[in-house]
């Protein structure tokens, strides 16, 4: 039985955060500038509250000031946009993040369009996504989870150029930008989604598989080519009576099976998850550097 190399997102994220923290310290010492990140949370989804809390704590750890706005589920689109406008004009704020998903009555496109592209640390503004999709153009920011996946591949010296990559899932937040990033690195990219007729067959051709489907244990060992590199973005709760919380988190990839086939794989938890926040801090730092350059 072969066993894959573990791609340790937790330790890479820690290293990235240490690098960011020391750079921020230097900026503060030499210029007095304190990086600032504004986070807008609408509604009371438990998962979103947890993500926002984790982002705030991470900011504090590396010396980024965070500005949090919590709005009720039934607030208006205009209220959200007003807060965004104030942050757009506030020179202490270098990054603005609107936690998704928004309540159903809100127009996500209109709200994300209101974020200044100069402060769009999530990289969700259509101008940034458009530039990501075009050859010879560069976005000001790249979405955090896709950037985290690429950073893991880079730091583990996994070659992308000329490789076949399959991205499972086509969301605006993860699947679509991840496919664009792999293509920019000269991979040949296929996107597998819920209407794909033969997902196993297509995935089995890939040297690199990045799964962001949000379906527990979707990708079986039999879906993978021997030696494939597997990045699992899924964070899916499954019932677990042995766990005090009554559930545990698993990825999209059936880890035990994949371990026998893949050359390298990210665990869940401890793989891509910690990288998302590290990349948010990285985007905030690069925003500070650009604004004050």
Q: Are strands 95-98 and 164-168 parallel, antiparallel or unpaired?
A: unpaired
Q: Please tell me the distance from the alpha carbon of residue 64 to that of residue 27, in angstroms, as a whole number.
A: 11
# chain residues binding ligand GUN, by CB under 6 A = 9
Using CB positions, name the residue nearest to ligand GUN: 100
When the beta carbons of 121 and 254 are compared against ligand GUN, the nearer one is 121
Chosen residue from 13, 27, 42, 173 binding ligand GUN by CB under 6 A:
173
Residue of 80, 97, 278, 285 interacting with ligand GUN (CB under 6 A):
97
Pairing of strands 247-250, 236-239: antiparallel
**Which DSSP helix (H) or strand (E) runs through 248?**
strand 247-250
Q: Any contact of residue 84 with ligand GUN (CB under 6 A)? A: no
- Told to check if 102 binds ligand GUN by CB under 6 A, we report no
Q: Which two tokens stand for residue 190?
A: 């296929």
Round to whole Å and give the CA distance between 71 and 236. 27
Residue of 8, 120, 122, 207 marked active site: 122
Beta partners for residue 231, in sequence order: 210
Q: Which whole-number Å values give the CA distances from 130 to 110, 140, 172, 180, 219, in the listed order? A: 16, 11, 12, 10, 30
Q: Give residues 257-276 in contact with ligand GUN (rule: CB under 6 A).
A: 276
Q: Tell the smallest beta-carbon distance from residue 148 to ligand GUN (Å).
A: 9
Token reading at 187: 């991979």
Concerning whether 55 is annotated as a catalytic residue, the answer is: yes
Binding segment for ligand GUN among 92-100, 110-118, 147-155, 208-216 (CB under 6 A)? 92-100
- Which of 147/163 has CB closer to ligand GUN? 147
User: Which residues bind to ligand GUN, rule: CB under 6 A?
Assistant: 97-100, 122, 144-145, 173, 276
> Which residues participate in catalysis according to the annotation?
55, 99, 122
């Amino acid at each position: 039985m072969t066993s894959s190399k573990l791609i340790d997102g937790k330790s890479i994220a820690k290293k990235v955060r240490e690098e960011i923290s020391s750079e921020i310290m230097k900026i503060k010492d030499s210029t007095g500038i304190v990086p600032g990140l504004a986070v807008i949370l609408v509604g009371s989804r438990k998962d979103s509250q947890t993500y926002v809390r984790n982002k705030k704590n991470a900011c504090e750890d590396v010396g980024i000031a965070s500005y949090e706005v919590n709005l009720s589920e039934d607030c208006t689109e205009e209220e959200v946009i007003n807060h965004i406008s104030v942050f757009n004009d506030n020179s202490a704020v270098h990054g603005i993040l609107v936690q998704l998903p928004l309540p159903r009555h809100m127009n996500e496109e209109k709200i994300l369009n209101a974020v200044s592209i100069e402060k769009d640390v999530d990289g969700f503004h259509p101008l940034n996504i458009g530039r990501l999709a075009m050859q010879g153009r560069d976005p000001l920011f790249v979405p955090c989870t896709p950037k985290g996946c690429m950073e893991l591949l880079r730091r583990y010296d996994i070659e992308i150029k000329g490789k076949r990559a399959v991205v499972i899932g086509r969301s605006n937040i993860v699947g679509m930008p991840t496919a664009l990033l792999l293509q920019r690195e000269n991979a040949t990219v296929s996107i597998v989604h819920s209407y794909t007729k033969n997902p196993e067959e297509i995935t089995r051709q890939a040297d690199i598989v990045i799964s962001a489907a949000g379906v527990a244990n979707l990708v079986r060992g039999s879906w993978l080519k021997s030696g494939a590199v597997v990045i699992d973005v899924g964070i899916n709760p499954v019932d677990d009576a042995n766990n005090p919380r009554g559930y545990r988190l698993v990825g999209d990839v059936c880890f035990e099976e994949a371990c026998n086939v893949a050359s390298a794989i990210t665990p869940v938890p401890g793989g891509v998850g910690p990288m998302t926040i590290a990349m948010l801090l990285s985007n905030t730092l690069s925003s500070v550097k650009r604004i004050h350059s």
